[in-house]
Amino acid sequence: MGSALSGILSRIRLSAKIFIAPVLVILFLIGAALLAGETLSVQRNALSSLYNVTYQKTRTTNATIDSLTSGHADLYRLLNWRANGIAEAKLQGLEKDVTERMAAVTRNITDLGAFRLSDEEKTLLATARDSATAYVKSGSKVMEVGRVLDVAEAVSFMVDTEQRFDSLRATLNRMKAVDEVRGRAAYDQAVTDADGGQQVFLIMVG
C-alpha cells in the first residue's frame, strides 16, 4: 500500500514538473503580446498626434499664407483691370474672389486658435488676428474706392494695404517656422517612444 502511494505521488510530482515549462512559456507569450500591444498603442497615439495636431496645424497655416498671397495678387490685378476698362462682370467676379480669400484668411486664423499652442504661438496668433483685421479693412477700402471713385485714388490706398500685407505675412511665416520646429520635435519624440517600446519587446523575445 505504501509503495503504491509513493508511486502515485512520484507520478504526480513528475507530471507537475512536466507542465511547469509549458505554463511558463504561455505566460511569457501573454506578457510579450501585451507589451507588443502597448508598443503599437504608443506608435498609434504618436502618429495620431502628428496628424491631428502637427500636420493639420501646418496645413492650416500654409492655407492661410496661400490665401493671403493669392488674394493680394488678385487685388493688384483688380486695379489693373479697372485701369484697362475690363468688363464690369469680370471685375465683379474678381472682386468676389479677393473678398473670399480675405474671408478665408480670417477663418483660417480663427481655426488655428483651436489647436494646442505654445505661449509663443499664442502671442503670434493674437498678432496675426489683429493684422488680418487691419489688412481686410484696408484691402476692402481699396476695392470700394476703385469701384466708386477711380483707380488712381485706389492705388494711393494700396500703400497702407501693402504694409498691412507685409506685416501679416511676416507673422504667418514666423508661425510656420515655429510650427515646423515643434513638428520636428514631436516627430523625433514619436520615433524615440516607438523605438523604446520595440527595444524592450526585442529584449524580451530575444
- Those residues with Cβ within 8 angstroms of residue 155's Cβ, 6 or more apart along the chain or in another chain: 79
pLDDT of residue 150: 87
Can you give the pLDDT at residue 206? 55
CA-closest candidate to residue 111, choices 141, 132, 94, 90: 132
So what's the pLDDT on residue 33? Answer: 58
| pLDDT at residue 14 in the model | 47
Separation between Cα atoms, residue 109 and residue 139, nearest integer Å: 17
- Burial of residue 164 (number of CB atoms within 10 Å: 0-12, 13-18, 19+): buried
Q: Residue 187 has what pLDDT? A: 62
Q: pTM to 2 decimals?
A: 0.70
* DSSP codes joined into one string, the chain: -HHHHHHHHHHHHHHHHHHHHHHHHHHHHHHHHHHHHHHHHHHHHHHHHIIIIIIHHHHHHHHHHHHHHHHHHHHHHHHHHHHTT--HHHHHHHHHHHHHHHHHHHHHHHHHTTS---HHHHHHHHHHHHHHHHHHHHHHHHHHHHHHS-HHHHHHHHHHHHHHHHHHHHHHHHHHHHHHHHHHHHHHHHHHHHHHHHHHHHHHH-
* pLDDT for the residue 25: 59
| Confidence (pLDDT) at 149 | 87
What is the full per-residue pLDDT of the chain (206 aa) written as tens digits?
Answer: 555 555 554 555 545 555 566 656 566 666 655 655 555 555 555 555 555 567 899 999 999 999 999 999 999 999 999 999 999 999 999 999 999 999 999 999 999 999 989 899 999 999 999 999 999 999 999 999 999 988 999 999 999 999 999 999 999 999 999 988 877 766 666 666 655 555 555 555 55
At 28 the pLDDT is 62
Amino acid at 104: A
Distance (Å, rounded) from C-alpha 84 to C-alpha 40? 63
Torsion of CA 174, 62, 53, 168, to 10 degrees: 40
pLDDT of residue 184: 75
